[in-house]
């Protein structure tokens, strides 16, 4: 009560008069947004606690900060995509992935498709981890069956030297889409930006496509480590700027996908992924300290403590790790359970969505209990798979909102 009352005093005595008599600043310097003014309930010139609710940060952001929350927020990786009929219909009309992901109106429309269907607590922008590459001189395409294709894989120092500093003016479609999405969802949901980690992007850039064993890039790391280092350094600088660009356009949270980090033995991850992640996170935290950053790696079980040591605010956990074990390990690594504010995100098995509704309900319950109700964002352990029934996804969201909190289970 005292906390709420303090909040009430601060807002009514200081913030409300200030906001009433000043012009609020827009979060986006280049695109001024409509001014937001606080309104008190009708018939009163005082704000009630209920009014204040409307000005709180989105639930997901508060959970990421370790605040006490009314229910565990839920969004799903790859919640915009091929499993949705509205998406497939739109993709039939605009068959090129690059067109769909590089046209502001289409990005906004696709990102909002799951928002309209399920009202998730996070809305991720429709894009790809490869999207920023052409802005630094690497062309790519997405083949409907094979996935990403890099026309000229990079394997020599001359090719690395030819890459240029990221030209953010070529990524305007990303910033304007984020600004539109943020205006659309307001504070009802968190807007999520994302990037691929330097290592994970390098796997595509060096291999030239998706890979199963990563033989070419691993061979490069053994035989010509200086080339791989130079490439990762360039990507690190570009991606730091790209994250800040997404934040300034409206992202509440930015997720770093180190999707293929788990393919490295931990000591190699320490060399080829961790330093670059740390550098990005340190720089972004210095530049935009209020924005939570997430790191997700597939096969993270052997890397959890290492991932937390990158400085990530949220650690994504895949479904092969027990969330309770993950929490315990990270609390031990932090040395003091109370001071550790790392938030865990995950980790329902995406395959459960192909099962009966009762199994989905059970999986969500179990995940909420193991997550412990605080510092937890409910998600899948990886993305929604193509072919997943839409009503299974709807059921997962419904159950998550009904149960919401491990204390209710």
CB under 6 A: which stretch of 78-86, 155-163, 315-323, 339-347 binds ligand CP3? 78-86
Which of the 8 DSSP states describes residue 70?
S
CB atoms within 10 A of CB 21: 7
CB under 6 A: which stretch of 15-23, 72-80, 370-378, 398-406 binds ligand CP3? 72-80
Residue 1 C-beta: closest distance to ligand CP3, Å: 40
User: Residues 209 to 248: which contact ligand CP3 by CB under 6 A?
Assistant: 210
Residue 19 C-beta: closest distance to ligand CP3, Å: 34
DSSP assignment of 99-123 equals HHHSSHHHHHHHHHHHHHHH--SEE
Angstrom distance (rounded) from CA 148 to CA 40? 51
Contact code string over 29-68 relative to ligand CP3, x by CB under 6 A: ----------------------------------------
16 vs 126, beta carbon nearer ligand CP3? 126
78 near ligand CP3, rule: CB under 6 A:
yes
Selection from 303, 34, 371 nearest residue 180 by Cα: 34
64 vs 297, beta carbon nearer ligand CP3? 297
Q: In this structure, what are the phi and psi dihedrals at residue 403, rounded to the nearest 5 degrees?
A: -80, -55
- Token pair recorded at residue 249: 């356009």
Q: Which residues contact 12 (CB under 8 A, 6 or more apart)?
A: 46, 47
Contact code string over 84-123 relative to ligand CP3, x by CB under 6 A: -------------x--------------------------
Alpha carbons within 13 A on the beta-carbon side of 389: 11
Torsion, CA 209, CA 214, CA 220, CA 222, rounded to 10? 170
Angstrom distance (rounded) from CA 18 to CA 334? 40
81 near ligand CP3, rule: CB under 6 A:
yes
Residue 46 C-beta: closest distance to ligand CP3, Å: 41
295 near ligand CP3, rule: CB under 6 A:
no
**Would you tell me which residues interact with ligand CP3 (CB under 6 A)?**
77-82, 97, 124, 126, 128-129, 142, 147-148, 194, 210, 257, 259, 383, 386
């Amino acid at each position: 009560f005292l906390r709420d009352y303090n909040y009430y005093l601060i807002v009514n005595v200081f913030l409300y008069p200030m906001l009433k008599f000043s012009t609020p600043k827009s979060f986006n310097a280049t695109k001024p947004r409509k001014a937001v003014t606080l309104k008190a309930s009708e018939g009163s010139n005082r704000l009630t606690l209920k009014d204040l609710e409307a000005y709180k940060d989105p639930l997901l952001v508060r959970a990421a900060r370790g605040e006490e929350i009314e229910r565990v927020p839920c969004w799903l990786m790859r919640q915009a995509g091929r499993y949705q009929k509205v998406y497939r219909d739109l993709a039939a009309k605009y068959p090129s992935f690059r067109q769909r992901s590089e046209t502001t109106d289409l990005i906004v429309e696709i990102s909002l498709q799951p928002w309209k269907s399920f009202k998730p607590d996070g809305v991720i922008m429709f894009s790809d981890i490869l999207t920023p590459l052409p802005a630094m001189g690497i062309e790519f395409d997405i083949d409907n069956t094979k996935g990403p294709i890099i026309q000229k894989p990079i394997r020599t120092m001359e090719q690395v030297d030819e890459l240029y500093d990221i030209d953010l003016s070529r990524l305007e479609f990303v910033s304007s889409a984020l600004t539109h999405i943020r205006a659309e969802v307001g504070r009802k949901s968190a807007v999520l930006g994302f990037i691929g980690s330097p290592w994970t992007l390098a796997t595509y850039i060096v291999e030239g496509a998706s890979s199963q064993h990563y033989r070419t890039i691993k061979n490069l790391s053994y035989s010509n480590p200086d080339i791989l280092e130079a490439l990762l350094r360039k990507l690190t600088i570009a991606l730091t700027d790209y994250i800040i660009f997404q934040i300034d356009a409206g992202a509440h949270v930015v997720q770093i996908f180190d999707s293929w980090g788990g393919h490295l033995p931990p000591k190699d991850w320490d060399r080829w992924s961790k330093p670059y992640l740390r550098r990005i996170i340190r720089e972004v935290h210095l530049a935009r300290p209020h924005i939570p950053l997430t790191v997700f790696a597939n096969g993270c079980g052997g890397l959890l403590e290492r991932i937390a040591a990158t400085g990530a605010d949220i650690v994504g956990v895949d479904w092969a790790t027990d969330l309770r074990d993950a929490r315990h390990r990270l609390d031990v690594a932090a040395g003091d359970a109370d001071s550790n504010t790392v938030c865990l995100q995950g980790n329902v098995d995406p395959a459960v969505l192909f099962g009966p509704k009762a199994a989905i309900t059970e999986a969500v319950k179990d995940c909420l209990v193991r997550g412990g109700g605080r510092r937890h964002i409910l998600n899948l352990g990886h993305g929604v798979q193509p072919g997943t029934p839409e009503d299974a996804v709807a059921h997962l969201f419904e159950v998550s909102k009904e149960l919401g909190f491990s204390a209710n289970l």
